[in-house]
Amino acid sequence: MRLIILFTLAINISIGSYAAKGETHFGKVKSAMGEYAGDIEIKLNEPNKDMITITLYEKVEKSPGKYQKTSQKIKLNTMIIHSIEIDSVVYLIKQLQYADGKTQPFCCIRLLEGKPEFGLYQWGADIDPKRQVVYFKNLSSYTLLSSPTLTQTRTSMMFLFAKCDIIKAELRDAKNGFITNDMDEAARSKEISRLIAATATCL
C-alpha cells in the first residue's frame, strides 16, 4: 500500500526532447523511488513548488555504431526526496520557520557545520548569515537564525546537551540561554558554531 501511495505521489513520466525551463542544475537526486541523475529544475535560493522535474538522458543504439540521444522527463514530489547533489554539494529540501512564525516549504538547505542531531545549515548556494538555519532534534522545525523561537529553547537545549556536562553547566549559569534577542544573525551564527564545536564529542 505504501509503495502504491509513493508511486502516485512521485511519478509523472513522458518521453521526448525537452528544453529546460527556469533554473536548471545537473545533479543527482536520492528519493524513496530510487536515484536519478540529470537536469534538475529547482531553485536553490528561493522556495520551490511541491513537484521537482528531472530530465534524464540516454543514448540508444538505432543501428550498429549509430546512437540517438533520448530524454525522459519525470516529476518527483519533494516529500519523498531525501537529498539532491549539485556540484558536489548535498542539499536537503525542508520547510523553514521565519521570524514571524510563518513557514516556507520546499527550500534547499545544505549543512555547514555539525550533524543531523545539531547542525547549522545554509539556505541556497551563497554564504549569508541572514539565510542560515539551525536544527536540533528537540526543535520542532528547521529555523532561520532571525527567529525569536531560538531565544525560547533553553529547556530543549538542556535535553539536547544532557550528556555534555560543560555545556549543561554553562546553560544553567546563563540567565537567557545561549541565543538572546540582542544578537543579530551573524552573532547567532557564531554562537551556534561555538556550541557545535563544543559538543562534537558528546552528542
Q: Which pLDDT band holds residue 66 (cuts at 50, 70, 90)? A: confident
| More confident of the two residues 97 and 172 | 97
What span, in angstroms and rounded, lies between the C-alpha atoms of 42 and 200? 33
Taking alpha carbons only, the member of 199, 155, 145 closest to residue 177 is: 155
- pLDDT above 60 (res 194): yes
- pLDDT above 80 (res 142): yes
Q: What is the pLDDT of residues 108-120, one digit of tens each?
A: 999 999 998 899 9
Q: Which pLDDT band holds residue 68 (cuts at 50, 70, 90)? A: confident
Strands 132-136 and 24-31: unpaired
| More confident of the two residues 63 and 8 | 63
- pLDDT above 80 (res 153): no
Q: Which pLDDT band holds residue 19 (cuts at 50, 70, 90)? A: very low
Q: What is the pLDDT of residues 95-110, one digit of tens each?
A: 998 777 788 889 999 9
Q: Average of pLDDT values for 144-170?
A: 83
- pLDDT above 70 (res 8): no
What span, in angstroms and rounded, lies between the C-alpha atoms of 203 and 86? 29
Q: Which pLDDT band holds residue 175 (cuts at 50, 70, 90)? A: low
| More confident of the two residues 101 and 191 | 191
Q: What pLDDT does residue 22 have? A: 62
Q: What pLDDT does residue 154 have? A: 76
Q: What pLDDT does residue 134 have? A: 94
**Domain ranges, ordered by start, for the chain:** 2-83, 89-198
What span, in angstroms and rounded, lies between the C-alpha atoms of 41 and 52? 6
Percentage of the chain with pLDDT > 90? 53
Q: Average of pLDDT values for 36-65?
A: 91
Average per-residue pLDDT for the chain: 85
String of DSSP letters for the chain: -HHHHHHHHH---EEE-----SSEEEEEEEETTEEEEEEEE--SSS---SEEEEEEEEEEEEETTEEEEEEEEEEEEGGGEEEEEETTEEEEEEEEE-TTS-EEEEEEEEEEEEETTEEEEEESSS--GGGEEEEETTSSSEEETT-GGGGG-HHHHHHHTTT-HHHHHHHHH-SS-SS-TT--HHHHHHHHHHHHHHTTTT-
Q: Average of pLDDT values for 161-167?
A: 85
